[in-house]
Amino acid sequence: MITATNLDTQRRLIAGACRLLAARALADGYLGHISLRVDEHRLLVRCRGPEERGLAWTTPADIRLVSFDGEAAANGELEGWTPPNELPLH
C-alpha cells in the first residue's frame, strides 16, 4: 500500500532522476520528465508549476500525483500545476 511517506520518498527519487536526466544532457532545458506508476490508476510525474525552472532544477514539489487521464489524483495535487502533454505515453 502506498502511504504519504512513501509518496514523499518517491517524489524525492523522481526529482533526482529528472535532475540526472538534465545533467547528462539527455533532455534540453525545460523538456523531459520522469514518471512512476503508483497503482493501476495513478502515477507520480513531473508537472509544470507556477515557477517553472526547468528539468535541471526539479524539486520534489514539482512531482505531482495524477490519474492516467491527467486529473488530480488527490486534493490539491494540481492547484497551479499542469501535467505534461505527453502524459498518455506514460
Q: At a CB cut-off of 8 Å and minimum separation 6, what does 83 contact?
A: 45, 47, 64, 66, 70
Q: Cα 64 vs. chain centroid, distance in angstroms?
A: 5
Among candidate residues 51, 71, 79, 86, the one labeled active-site is 86
**Residue 77 catalytic?**
no
Whole-Å CA distances, 31 to 4, 28, 44, 86, 89? 28, 6, 17, 11, 15
Catalytic positions: 86
